[in-house]
Structure 1
Amino acid sequence: MENSTDRQLAEDWWRTEIIRMQPGEIRIRGYAIEDLTGRIGFAQMVWLMTRGELPTEAQARLLEAAMVAGVDHGPQAPSIAISRMAMSCGAGINGAMASAVNVLDDVHGGAGEQSVDLYHQIAAEGGTPEEAAAAVLERRAEAGQKYVPGFGHRFHPVDPRAPRLLALVDQAVRDGTVDGRFARIGRAVDAHLRATKSRPVPMNIDGATAVVYAELGFAPPLCRGIFILSRSVGILAHAYEQSLRPDRNKGPIPRQWLWRYDGAGDRELG
């Protein structure tokens, strides 16, 4: 005989505001899944799942633009390289994608979240964006935090993705979709770095998507997750491509090359 108290405890333990499901019925945030299917896009679904309400079409377009911009950055990117090596080692698509996603952490994949955090710190500082950015960045430098998340790139003198995203944000400001506060802050950081650094440290994809996410009101931890959703598309494409190739990619350098050894010289035991 079922114990109603135990059942209530179990139901309370797994409580959620996201989905209701029972035989013949699935509702996401109150909407029937069959009503959503074919009527909203994936970016709208991401917003609904994470924020609880549907975005406007303009908000969804801006979010989708940020997600499109971050899908891939070449096979040398750690997550992409890992997905290709995992496929060569016999993993399936799921294993390759999981292995790749697991390295999207603070150093590779976390800069967007960190950049949103930085923008919020500057917003809380008070004063003009330029004054606030200078104050926060100077404190970071004094504390030994030389790296500014969302700025600088080892390949691109100008990251081609950033100006395009900022232009879309500017259009969204003109349309009344966002207010532009974080775009001003991002540009203030960029200007401060240009004025104080010996070499250019321009805004990169992480700094630009952070502007989009902050303008749209996403909490910083969600921003890393959204980037992972975006980059997972590139991970999937590279893993599948590798699975179709006759050669195997089982290491970070071509097999005819060897790594440099700089340990102890040759020696004899005993």
Structure 2
Amino acid sequence: MSGAEKKSGRELGEEWWQTAIIEMSPGIIRLRGYEIQDLIGRASFPAVVWLMLRGELPSEDQASLLGIALGAAVDHGPQAPSIAIARMAATCGVGINSVMASAINVLGDVHGGAGEQALSFYGDIAVAIDGGATLDGAVSARLDRFFVGEKDYVPGLGHRFHPIDPRAPRLLELTRAFAARGVVSGRFADIAEAIEADVARRKGRKIPLNIDGATAVIYGELGFPPPLTRGLFVLSRSVGILAHAWEQSQQSERNKGPLPREWLWAYTGTPPRPFPGEDDAGE
């Protein structure tokens, strides 16, 4: 008889959703081993995010830097598809949870995924440096492969609205300040700035770091793997989505579409034509 067959039905049931994250029974809630009442009032929200994802409490400085990154990307206005969708959904009579879900569901590779892509890119360069390459050599080699085989926007650089994304320089400045105190190493900041410089040399013009590239620097410095970078962006942008959903829900408009109703889309299809046989209908 196998070990699984020896287990009782209750044991099998308890193992069905086994988790190292939370322990809960009547009167008890523990997150990663910490009593919830001990965390309340002592651990900040960024610290609890860290604890839930990483299993241990961060230092105050680590939690502070994480909070800085989360706070920087909360909103970018109704021109961002996720925010526009939130506002449109709010005019359709659905609950605020449905509004938020509708918006969050469009945060994918194109809108919301650039931070993950940027950190993966940085990670490739970090691995090459660990293998003995120089910073400039590793950056150049990775960009060579990118422009030959991938031929797309370099992740983390450029912004369709901002010649210089006002969030990025401040985030890099703060990362450098935390690195100077030994909280982080600064290696991902070095990598991002070296990428920016190499691309400028190749293109003949500077394409500055954007919010995705800058927050990827911080998440990389703090040791988060690339897939979690996307999740952290979703967590951050959910704040803006909630704010816009609530604001729109307090207004009287109903069924608000992407354009004012006086403006209709440009039709590019077949010109008006008769239904087959229509000319013969009177004969």
Instruction: Report the TM-score range of the alignment, normalised by the length of the smaller protein.
Output: over 0.9
Q: CA deviation at 1:231?
A: 0.2
Q: CA deviation at 1:228?
A: 0.5
Give the 5 Å matches for 1:16-55: 16-55=19-58
Q: CA deviation at 1:203?
A: 0.5
Aligned to 1:130: 136
Whether the aligned pair in 1 keeps the contact of 2:196 and 2:207 (CA below 8 Å) is yes
User: Structure 2 residue aligned with 1:149, among 149, 155, 163?
Assistant: 155
User: Structure 1 residue aligned with 2:93, among 83, 90, 97?
Assistant: 90
Q: CA deviation at 1:250?
A: 2.1
User: Structure 1 residue aligned with 2:214, among 192, 198, 208?
Assistant: 208
Displacement over 3 Å in runs of 4+: none
Aligned to 2:258: 252
Whether the aligned pair in 2 keeps the contact of 1:19 and 1:29 (CA below 8 Å) is yes
1:71 and 1:94 map into 2 onto residues whose CA distance is: 17
| 1:116 paired to 2:119 | yes
Aligned to 2:71: 68
Where in structure 2 are there 5+ consecutive unaligned residues?
A: 1-5, 277-283
Q: CA deviation at 1:224?
A: 0.7
State the SS of the aligned residue for 2:138. helix
Whether the aligned pair in 2 keeps the contact of 1:84 and 1:249 (CA below 8 Å) is no
**Residue-by-residue CA offset, 1:18-72 (whole Å, 9 max, x unaligned):** 0001111000000000110111110000000000000000011110000000000
State the SS of the aligned residue for 2:201. helix
Aligned to 2:280: none
- Of the structure 1 ranges 6-15 and 50-59, higher mean CA displacement relative to structure 2 is found in 6-15
User: Structure 1 residue aligned with 2:171, among 165, 180, 183?
Assistant: 165
Structure 1 length normalisation: TM-score?
Answer: 0.96
1:250 and 1:138 map into 2 onto residues whose CA distance is: 46
**Residue-by-residue CA offset, 1:240-262 (whole Å, 9 max, x unaligned):** 00011122462111221011111
Percent identity reads: 59
State the SS of the aligned residue for 1:94. helix
Structure 2 length normalisation: TM-score?
Answer: 0.92
Where in structure 1 are there 5+ consecutive unaligned residues?
A: none
2:189 and 2:206 map into 1 onto residues whose CA distance is: 19
2:271 and 2:207 map into 1 onto residues whose CA distance is: 41
Residue-pair matches, total: 268
Structure with higher Rg: it is 2
CA separation of 1:89/1:42 partners in 2, compared to 1, >3 Å: closer, same or farther? same
